[in-house]
Structure 1
Amino acid sequence: MSAPIISLESLASASSMEALLAKAASGGCSSSSCGSSAKPDDMDPAVWEKIKDHPCYSEEAHHYFARMHVAVAPACNIQCNYCNRKYDCANESRPGVVSEKLTPDQARRKVIAVANEVPQLSVLGIAGPGDACYDWKKTRATFEEVSRDIPDIKLCISTNGLALPDHVDELAEMNVDHVTITINMVDPEIGTKIYPWIFYRNRRYTGLEASQILHERQMLGLEMLTARGILTKINSVMIPGVNDEHLIEVNKWVKERGAFLHNVMPLISDPAHGTHFGLTGQRGPKAMELKALQDKLEGGAKLMRHCRQCRADAVGLLGEDRGQEFTLDQIPEEVTYDPSTRESYREVVARERGDHVAAKQAALSTVAETEATGALLVAVATKGGGRVNEHFGHAREFQVYEASPKGIAFVGHRKVDQYCMGGFGEDATLDGVIDALEGIDVVLCAKIGDCPKDSLSTAGIRATDAYGYDYIETAIAALYAAEFGLELLAESA
C-alpha cells in the first residue's frame, strides 16, 4: 500500500484533523518509519532538534512547516544600494510592498491568531523591515510577549550585523537559536559599491571606513554566535559585476567562522522599486547564473537553495504569503491561543515524514542503479508535503531539482505568474513561464493541458502529469531511470 496522500490544505482545517490522523494511521505507515523524520547520519542530534521543524534551516522541513515574520523593527542603521527606505527591502522582501508595521502587543495578537489558523506554523522571525538588532527594544519586547503565550515556537531574527555584537548575550538568554546575517562582502573595497553609509555609535560613516566597520562587526557577531552554539544563516545578495565572484571568498570566510548555512540570493533590481541599483541599470542574475555560482560554492559552507526572499510580514509555507488574511483589522482585540491544532498537525507530519524518508531512500537507490553519467534538471509544481500535487496552470513557482549520479538534490526555485486564471490560460503569461523555466529539461505537475504542454515542447521542455501526487523524489527517480534506459519493475509497497 502506498503512503496516504495528505494535503496541506486539509491539514490546515482543525475540523478535519481527527479524520486525518485516522487516515494517516491506517495508511500503511510501517513501524520502522513512523514517529519522526530520520536524522541525517552526519548531524549532531542537538543540531537536528533545532532545525528539523525550521523551514529555512532545513530544506526537508520547508515542505511541511511555515514561518511568520512580524514587522516590528522599522529603524535601520545602514543604507544598501539595493534598498529603498520607502518600502520593505527589495531583496530581503517582496519588492514594492510596504509591511503593516506593528507594535509588540499587536504582533503578539497577530501571532496567536495565525497559530490558531495555520497549524504548520513553527517559526516566528523578525526581519525588519529595518534591522532587528538596531531596533532592539521592539524586537526583544515582541519575543518576550509571544514566548509567554506560545513557548514552543522557534524564535529567529535577521540582521545586517552592525549592531549584532551588542545583543548576542541577550539572544542567548532568550533562547533565540537561529540568526540570519546579511553579509555581501569580506573585502571593504567591494563594500563601498554596495553600502553608501552606515550609522554606528551615534555617527554616520561613508566610503571605505563605513565598509570596514561593517565588515569587522559582522565577523565579530558571527564568531560570538558560533561560540554560544547559536545557528547562523548567512544571506548574500548576488550582484553581477559587483560581488558575484567575490561571494566565493565570502563563503570561505563564513564557513571558517562557523556559519551553519550560506544562502546566495539573486539581486532584485527594477527601476520601479526606486533603489540605487534599479535606477542605475544594475541587473540581477539570471536563474542559471545563480545556479552556476551556487554550484561553485559546493564543498564550502552548506548552501541553502530554497529561500524565497520573504517580505517582513510574510505568513505561511515558503513560496506562499497569507499575510493579507491576518491584517490587524481582521484580528479580534482579544485572542486566546489554542495549541490543539498545531499539536495534531505535528503528529500527522511525523507519520508523513517517516514515509517520505523511506521513499527518498528508495528513489536514491533507483538513481544509483542506473549507473548513468547524465543529469536532468526537473521543475516541480507542488503545494507542499513533498509531492507533485499542483496543476501546471495554478503554479506560482516551480521547485527545481537536479538528478545526477550524485543523487537527487533541490537546487532552487523559479517564480512565475499564474498561467491559468478562471479556467483560461493567457498566452503572454505562458511565454513568461517558459522564459522562467530556462535550462529545465522536464516539468512535473499534477495536471497539464495540451496547449501549454505543446508550447513547452516547442521550447524544448518536456512536461508530464504521469507522476501526479507521487513524492517528488519518487517521481524524479522514475523519470531519471526511464531517461537513461533502466526498466523498472512495478512494485507495490
Structure 2
Amino acid sequence: MPPATYIRFSDLQSRGSALASQPVGCASASCGSQEGPDELPPGVWDRIKDHPCYSESAHHHYARMHIAVAPACNIQCNYCNRKYDCSNESRPGVVSERLTPEQAVRKVLVVAKRIPRLSVVGIAGPGDALANPDKTFATFRALREQAPGLKLCLSTNGLALADHIDEICALGIDHVTITISALDPLVGARIYPWIFHGHRRYEGLEAAKILAGRQLLGLEKLTERGVLAKINSVLIPGINDHHLVSLNREVKARGAFLHNIMPLISDPAHGTVFGLAGQRGPTAQQLKAVQDECSGGAQLMRHCRQCRADAVGLLGEDRSEEFSLDALDALVPSFDSAAHSASMRELEADSLAQQRARRGGGESLPESGLSVHVAVASRGQGRINQHFGHADEFQIFEVSEQGVHFIGHRRVDLYCQGGWGEDEELPSIIAAINDCHALLVAKIGACPRQELAAAGIEVDQRHAGEFIEKAVLDWFADYSVRVTRGETEHRERGDAALRQGAFTAAA
C-alpha cells in the first residue's frame, strides 16, 4: 500500500487548480443530470442517457441493480450500521443477503431477463467495493463476459480508489461514485472515528486527514482517465452543512461530474452513533437550501433515493425480494444481448420523448413573475400515472417563466392501506408538501382532495398519463392566467414553516 497522504484544508484550492481546466464531463455549471443531448458535450449524453443515477430523465425509464458482494469496510462512519436490516427500508449499507461473485452473476442474469429495462449493475457494499477488491473485480469480469450490454459502476468511500484505477478502466467501469462528506479534517473527525489504511488503523484527526487526501487523489486519477465521477455527501446539520458548499467547489475543480447531497438518516432504531446520540437529519427544505447554496459549483443530483446495497428496479422502487437466493433456484439465468439492445432502444425513445415534452411546453407563458413548487405522483416512465393513495413519495418541481426544474422528492406514508384511505395519514402527507401550490395526480378521492384544498394545495387530475414536465407547465400557464385576472389569489407558501424547521425530513 502507498504511504498515508496528508493534506491541509487551506491547500485544497491550489491542488485542484491543475484539473479545473479539464473537467471530465461538462464545461459549465449548467451541464448535468437534468440536461439532455442538446446541452451536453459530444459523447457525454451517450454515457449517461441510460444511467438512472447520472441522468435525471433516465431515472424515469431505466432500472438499476446493486449486488451485495462486498461485506468488509475500511472506514467507520458515525451514520452507518451495516448490521441492521429491514426489508422495507431504503438506506445505503442495508442488505438482506450477501452474495458470492458466482451468486451475484447468476442473479444479474435472472434479473436482466425479468426486468428488460435493467441498464446498470453496481457494487455499493454493504461495505466498500474497493475494500473487497477480489470479490468486486471477479464479479465485474464475469459480468463483462456474460452480460456485455450492461453498464458497470461502483461506489466507494475513496480510501483505496487510487490503488485500483487501472483495473477499473480495464474493465470499462465508466461511472464511479465516491462518498465524500468532509474535506476539512476538523469536520471529518466528527464523522469518521477511524480508518484502516496501509495495514494500520488511524483515528480522529489523523484518520480524517488521510481519508480526505486519498479521496481527492482518487477523484483526480478518475478525471485524468476520463471516468465519470459522482460525489455523494451526507448532509449532517450542525456538522458539515456549511462546509458542503466549499466541498462542492473543490470536487468540481477536480472534475467531478455530479454532486449528490443526501440527507442524514438517523433513526435511533438503526443503532448508528449519530442515531443513538440524537443527531437529527435535515428537513427537506434545509436540504434544498444547501443544494441551492451550491449553485455555480458542481452540478447537483437531486433525484437520489439513497438505495439499499441490494436494490433492484427503478429508483424509488425495490424489487429485491423477488430475487432472493431461494427464488433464484426456480429461475433460469440467461442474457439475450439482442433483446436487451432492443429494449434499450425503446427506452431511449421514451426518454427523448420526455426531453422534447420538457422543452415543448410553456412557450407562451404569461410574464407573471411567479415561481411556485408543484408536487407530482408518478410510478415511473416520466408520466403522471399514480393514484394519490398509492404514492409513497411525491416528486417536487419548481416552475416559473424560465421553465420547469426537478428539485427533489418527498417520502410520505401510504394513504391507502388495505384498500381504504387512512385519514390519520393526511396531516403528515400535507406537511410534506405544504410548500407546494399544486399536486398533480392520476386520480384522487374526494376526502383527501378536500383536505388538500383546505390546506391551500390545488389538486389537478386532468393530466393523467401525460409527461410530467408538459403537465406542470400547462398547469402553471393556467394558474398564471388565473392569478393575473384575479380569479385566484397567489399566496407565498411555507415561509413560516421553513423558518421553524417544521417540514418533514426528505429521508
Confirm or deny a common fold (TM above 0.5).
Answer: yes
CA RMSD of aligned residues (A): 2.0
SS of 1:268's partner is coil
Relative to the length of structure 2, the TM-score reads 0.85
- Which residue number in structure 2 is paired with residue 329 of structure 1? 326
Cα deviation, residue 179, structure 1: 0.2
> Which of 342, 345, 357 is equivalent to 2:343?
345
2:207 matched to 1:199?
no
Match for 1:417: what amino acid?
A: D
- Which residue number in structure 2 is paired with residue 141 of structure 1? 138
Q: Separation in 2 of the partners of 1:427 and 1:320?
A: 24
- Which residue number in structure 2 is paired with residue 285 of structure 1? 282
2:378 matched to 1:360?
no
Q: What runs of 5+ residues in structure 1 fail to find an aligned partner?
A: 1-36, 488-493
Q: Separation in 1 of the partners of 2:82 and 2:57?
A: 34
SS of 1:365's partner is coil
SS of 2:64's partner is strand
Q: Separation in 1 of the partners of 2:292 and 2:36?
A: 25
SS of 2:404's partner is strand
1:17-416 to 2 correspondences below 5 Å: 39-87=36-84, 94=91, 97-332=94-329, 335-366=333-364, 369-416=365-412
Q: Separation in 1 of the partners of 2:128 and 2:355?
A: 37
Cα deviation, residue 95, structure 1: 7.0
Q: Separation in 2 of the partners of 1:393 and 1:467?
A: 17
Q: Deviations over 1:342-374 (max 9, x none)?
A: 3332232233334323222121524xx322211
Q: Separation in 2 of the partners of 1:261 and 1:326?
A: 31
Q: Separation in 2 of the partners of 1:93 and 1:256?
A: 32
| CA distance 1:97–1:438, change in 2 (3 Å) | farther
Q: Separation in 2 of the partners of 1:438 and 1:347?
A: 39
SS of 2:286's partner is helix
The question of whether the paired residues in 2 share the 8 Å contact of 1:65 and 1:121 is answered with yes
Cα deviation, residue 47, structure 1: 1.4
- Which residue number in structure 2 is paired with residue 429 of structure 1? 425
Cα deviation, residue 340, structure 1: 5.0
Q: Separation in 1 of the partners of 2:356 and 2:44?
A: 22
- Which residue number in structure 1 is paired with residue 469 of structure 2? 473
Cα deviation, residue 39, structure 1: 4.7
Q: Deviations over 1:135-193 (max 9, x none)?
A: 11110011011111110110000000001111011101111010000001110000011
After TM superposition, where is structure 1 displaced by more than 6 Å over at least 4 residues in a row? none
The question of whether the paired residues in 1 share the 8 Å contact of 2:82 and 2:94 is answered with no
The question of whether the paired residues in 2 share the 8 Å contact of 1:380 and 1:399 is answered with yes
Q: Separation in 2 of the partners of 1:166 and 1:89?
A: 34
| CA distance 1:340–1:449, change in 2 (3 Å) | farther
Percent identity (aligned):
57
SS of 1:258's partner is coil
SS of 2:129's partner is coil
Of residues 379-388 and 413-422 in structure 1, the stretch that sits farther from structure 2 once superposed is: 413-422
Cα deviation, residue 422, structure 1: 3.2
Cα deviation, residue 97, structure 1: 4.8
Q: What runs of 5+ residues in structure 2 fail to find an aligned partner?
A: 1-33, 484-507
| CA distance 1:389–1:328, change in 2 (3 Å) | same
The question of whether the paired residues in 2 share the 8 Å contact of 1:370 and 1:486 is answered with no
Match for 2:116: what amino acid?
A: P
Cα deviation, residue 89, structure 1: 12
Match for 2:480: what amino acid?
A: F
Of residues 369-378 and 76-85 in structure 1, the stretch that sits farther from structure 2 once superposed is: 369-378
Q: Deviations over 1:222-263 (max 9, x none)?
A: 000000000000000000000001100110100000000000
Match for 2:136: what amino acid?
A: T
- Which residue number in structure 2 is paired with residue 22 of structure 1? none
Cα deviation, residue 88, structure 1: 6.4
Cα deviation, residue 49, structure 1: 1.0
Match for 2:396: what amino acid?
A: V
The question of whether the paired residues in 1 share the 8 Å contact of 2:57 and 2:355 is answered with no
The question of whether the paired residues in 2 share the 8 Å contact of 1:113 and 1:335 is answered with yes
Cα deviation, residue 93, structure 1: 5.1
Of residues 451-460 and 374-383 in structure 1, the stretch that sits farther from structure 2 once superposed is: 451-460
| CA distance 1:237–1:438, change in 2 (3 Å) | farther
Cα deviation, residue 386, structure 1: 1.0
- Which residue number in structure 1 is paired with residue 437 of structure 2? 441
Match for 2:421: what amino acid?
A: G
SS of 1:133's partner is helix
Q: Separation in 2 of the partners of 1:430 and 1:253?
A: 42
| CA distance 1:354–1:196, change in 2 (3 Å) | closer
| CA distance 1:337–1:307, change in 2 (3 Å) | same
Q: Separation in 2 of the partners of 1:388 and 1:43?
A: 27
Of residues 275-284 and 349-358 in structure 1, the stretch that sits farther from structure 2 once superposed is: 349-358
